[in-house]
């Protein structure tokens, strides 16, 4: 079952890449795609966390005090970072929508992943694993017809919101 449609806080983290705000009401197709990405992230990321069972820094070392929201559940593992994985998936998706802002989007995704280290809930390797996982997932997703249809609808919606010309990706070379 899909989670309710929402524009994930992660997408909102990318607002620094342009001069407007995003909301689910203004971008319903983008919000639906965001929800689907978050669902896909939780399936893949959750399985990886269960497999690797890497303790978070504050569960390994009691002297580490997280400065952001953290759970006391020792079984809430940190590798790979779910927040970073969602951030990178959404960044890679946004790049498909607004490729001319690629560098700013990727820089923001890196900052988002790093913030999880700074606040004490992840190790640097957790975010690095999330980045690699996101690229692998995106490779699979770009070959999925449903994803491509949702992406095209969201691309049209986002580009209109940003007052950008329509964009049609070039076909892949054989």
3-state SS string for the chain: CCCCCCCCHHHHHHHHHCCCCCCCCCCHHHHHHHHHHHHHHHHHHHHHHHHHCCCCHHHHCCCCCCCCCCCCCCCCCCCCCHHHHHHHHHHHHHHHHCHHHHHHHHHHHHHHHHHHHHCCCCCHHHHHHHHHHHHHHHHHHCCCHHHHHHHHHHHHHHHHHCCCCCCCCCCCCC
* Domain at 28-63+76-161: CATH code: 1.20.144.10
pLDDT at 5 over 50: no
The fraction of the chain above a pLDDT of 90, given in percent, is: 66
Look at residue 61 and tell me whether its pLDDT is greater than 70: yes
pTM of the model: 0.86
Interval 101-134: pLDDT, tens: 999 999 999 999 999 999 999 999 999 999 999 9
pLDDT at 9 over 90: no
pLDDT band of residue 17 (cuts 50, 70, 90) is low
Residue 3 pLDDT more than 70? no
- What's the mean pLDDT when you consider all of the chain? 86
């Amino acid at each position: 079952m899909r989670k309710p449609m929402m524009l994930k806080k992660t997408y909102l983290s990318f607002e620094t890449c342009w001069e407007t705000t995003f909301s689910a009401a203004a971008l319903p197709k983008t919000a639906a795609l965001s929800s689907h990405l978050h669902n896909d992230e939780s399936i893949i990321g959750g399985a990886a966390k269960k497999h690797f069972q890497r303790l978070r820094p504050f569960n390994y070392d009691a002297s580490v005090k997280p400065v952001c929201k953290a759970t006391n559940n020792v079984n809430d593992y940190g590798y790979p970072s779910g927040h970073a994985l969602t951030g990178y998936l959404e960044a890679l998706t946004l790049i498909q929508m607004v490729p001319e802002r690629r560098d700013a989007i990727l820089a923001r995704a890196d900052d988002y992943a790093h913030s999880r280290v700074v606040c004490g809930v992840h190790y640097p390797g957790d975010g690095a694993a999330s980045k690699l996982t996101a690229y692998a997932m995106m490779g699979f997703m770009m070959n999925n017809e449903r994803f491509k249809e949702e992406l095209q609808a969201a691309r049209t919606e986002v580009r209109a919101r940003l007052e950008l010309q329509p964009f049609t990706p070039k076909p892949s070379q054989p």
